[in-house]
Amino acid sequence: MGGNDHHNLEDIQMKVIHEFSKTLEMFGLSMADSRLFVTLYLHPSPMTLDEMSSALGKSKTAMSTGIRNLSDQGLVERVWKKGVRKDLYTSTTNLYKTFMTSYIQKWQTAVAEQEKELSAVEGQMKENFKGCVKQMEKDEAVLLQERMQEMIHFHTRLLKALQSLQPAP
């Protein structure tokens, strides 16, 4: 492969990294973590932190932080290779399943937490409004309680919808 061909391939690879990183940012990854993931995904073999640092022009510390973030989300894993003393990392390869599972789990956690908080507020509201004497306050309390129940029901339905989106194993 000639020098010009190699340069064109590098340019295309950088464009691919840049463009696919934008997609991954929609899943809540930072730009730096997205670029690191795509770099690992495109690389034909596991990479060391030094190789990642060189490929992305970032510090080894930044790569270590990025790997930790990606590893916490199950997007990369450390691998062992005989005769290599440095840690090697590789990306997961099932993009759809990995990202959808991670994203759906984040949403499920957030929705469940919100549902729990709204239920707690509803309980407080019932206690606080037992002593309402004025009809106007009672009417407002009833409306607020109805709306709270609708919000809680919304979260319950949202959780069920998210569960139905889980990718098949």
Position with higher pLDDT, 159 vs 169: 159
| Residue 117 confidence (pLDDT) | 94
| Residue 150 confidence (pLDDT) | 94
Output the pTM of the full model.
0.72
pLDDT at 27 over 70: yes
Task: Tell me the C-alpha to C-alpha distance, in Å, between residue 40 and each of 36, 58, 72, 102, 123.
Answer: 6, 14, 16, 18, 49
Q: What percent of the chain has pLDDT over 90?
A: 57
Distance CA 119, CA 42 (A): 46
b/e map 23-34, b = 16+ CB within 10 Å: ebeeeebeebbb
| 65-75 residue pLDDT tens | 999 999 998 89
